[in-house]
Structures are given as C-alpha cells and as structure tokens.
Copies of this chain bind each other. A is one copy, B any other.
C-alpha cells in the first residue's frame, strides 16, 4: 500500500501515518519528493485497511498495490483449474485444455420444449444443458419461470439425454432446493453482488457458474468469486456476459478483453455468453467465434425449438441454420487454438 501525502502535509502528519502503521505491526518507508512525500507500507494489508488512513490530516490518497482476492488468485496457484460438472462417472470438464458448449432454452416451459432443445444442443456439440426454472425478470408482469416444476423437468431431461444441467438460483431461500436437483448452480448478472446468496451457494456443494454483473469491474467479479471460495468451494466457472455501456445496438457490450485479463489473474475457468450480451440472434455465431478466438474455455448459448413461441428472450435463441453454423464453429476453431472439444473428454478415476 502507498500513502500519498498532500503538498501541504506537515512533518507531524507524516509522523502520524508512520506511527499508526507501526502500531499495527507494519513498516512504513518514507520517500520525500520535491512537492510531495509518499509512504510505502509493508505488512498485513487487512490491518492497514482498518486504520482509515484516508481520513488522517495531510493524506491526499491511498493506493492499493496488490490484488484484494487470495483464494481465486493465480498468484499462488499458477496452474489454471478445470471444473468438472455432473454425477460421478459421467462428469464433463470446463477448463484450459478443452472447449465446452453449454446450451439450452432461456426458460424451461414444458417437458417437450426442454427435451427438444436439449437434443438440439447435444447435436451441436453441447455437453451441459442450461435452462431457467427461476427467472429474474425486469417486469413483475412477465413470466417468472416454473420454479420447482422446472427443476423436475430438467432432471428428467438429464435422464433422457445424459447431459448434466446448470440452472440459476435467485434467492438464498431456494439454494438447498435447487442444489438438490441441479449439477451446477448459476449466479446471474443481477445477483453477482448478492453476497448472502454467494455465501449460500458456496456452502451447497455444487459447482457454480458465476456471471459477471453488468456493471462490475473484473476485480469486483473476482471478489464475488472470493466470497464463494471463502465458504470452501473452488469449483467456480466465471462467465462474461456483457457490461452496460452507452452503445444501444446490443443489449450489453460483450467485453471479450476480460477473458485474457481473467486468465492472467485467476486460475478459474472462464466462458462467454454471446446470447444474453447481444440480445439478438444474428450476432450469436460471430460472437461465439470471437470468444473461441480470444481463448475462452467455453460458451453458453440459448437454443429453442420454436423461438417465436418462447416465453423468454425469443429474439436471441438459435435454431436451424444458425445452430448449424454454431456447431461448425465449435468443431473447427478450437483445434486450431490447441483445444479439444469437451464432448470428447471423460474424467478418469
């Protein structure tokens, strides 16, 4: 940590900072410049936070130097992690060596629609099914999902297809229920900073798919992962799904730069959601190919057998031609970049 003193700071002000830092067992190195003095702090960061140095007289600014997250940091865990999803014996990977396609309907509407979407997904190369049972909707008058009935449908489709499924949990009261059915719990963009929910899924024993909040910095996103990790769970997959900007032609602006930034900073896998970020299906295949190019460990896309009848986000769901184009991209691009399809990987042991 570095404390920058204001030009008017007195010797007394400087001495006060040094004394506080030493009072909690730290060391303070004073560098006197022509117009300002800076003080480098060495020791336990957490104890420095409690000193409220920014409120002291003569202090102009305090810069943090090191990352605030620990368990998810790549600093002490250089090898990138693989997260395995599904029941023992039929687990599929999300990680640095493979490329994973997660696909399914935005919302579970019926057993028929769900199984049909799952078969479409599977034929395009998907290894994990996605589908919403609890839906966070902007309007209280919109379809809110089938709830527990939706989870049961997803479980039956898992039986039929062999695909493990990921589904969103939106309330801490539902975590136990959802975890009893699902293979992976999704934290949606609106709940990335719902810390009680993060702690609850961190204790539920299932892998977590953590979407980036639409106004979250990468650092805040990794701190959300740290909340989960701090409860004992490290099977976390991050999902970039766009940030809010001034550009109106897409729902959100997909920040593909986050993929290499995240991979340099944390050991956790990261995938990309081109469907929800764009909000329009004509962009899904190009953005999926872009995500593969940039080095993502997978993607998650919406598919629906009849998008025009979808109860949720129909305009972004793929079918027919687009799905075939997606399948082609998923099959051809990752090998050029040194990855195998996750569909070809099985866990040993």
Residue A264 CB within 8 A of the other chain: yes
Binds B, one of A90-98, A124-132, A310-318: A310-318
Residues of A whose CB lies within 8 Å of any CB of B are 2, 4, 7, 29, 31-36, 38, 40-43, 46, 49-50, 52, 54-56, 61, 63, 65-66, 68, 75, 136-142, 170-173, 190-191, 193-197, 199, 213-215, 217-220, 223, 226-227, 230, 243-250, 253-261, 264, 277-278, 282-283, 286-287, 289-295, 307-311, 314-315, 332-333, 336-337
Q: A29-B31, A63-B63, A290-B291 given. 10 additional CB < 8 A pairs?
A: A33-B42, A33-B65, A137-B195, A170-B194, A218-B249, A243-B253, A245-B245, A253-B253, A253-B255, A332-B336
Q: How far is the CB of A334 from chain B (nearest CB, A)?
A: 10
By a CB distance below 8 angstroms, the chain B residues around A173 are 172-173, 196
By a CB distance below 8 angstroms, the chain B residues around A138 are 68, 193, 220, 223
Residue from A34, A46, A197, A255 with most neighbouring chain B CB atoms (10 Å): A255
By a CB distance below 8 angstroms, the chain B residues around A289 are 293-295, 337
Q: Of B191, B246, B294, B315, which is within 8 A of A286 by CB?
A: B294
* Copies of this chain per assembly: 4
- Sort A-B residue pairs by CB-CB distance and give the 3 closest, nearest first: A293-B293, A215-B215, A290-B294
Q: Of B42, B136, B254, B259, which is within 8 A of A257 by CB?
A: B254
By a CB distance below 8 angstroms, the chain B residues around A214 are 215
Residue from A54, A65, A244 with most neighbouring chain B CB atoms (10 Å): A65
By a CB distance below 8 angstroms, the chain B residues around A286 are 259-260, 293-295
A226 to B137, CA, bound (A): 12
Given the known interface contacts A52-B315, A142-B49, A215-B246, the answer about A31 and B40 at a Cβ–Cβ threshold of 8 Å is yes
Contact call B247/A68, Cβ cutoff below 8 A: no
By a CB distance below 8 angstroms, the chain B residues around A309 are 52
Contact call B217/A248, Cβ cutoff below 8 A: yes
Given the known interface contacts A29-B29, A139-B223, A261-B283, the answer about A217 and B38 at a Cβ–Cβ threshold of 8 Å is no
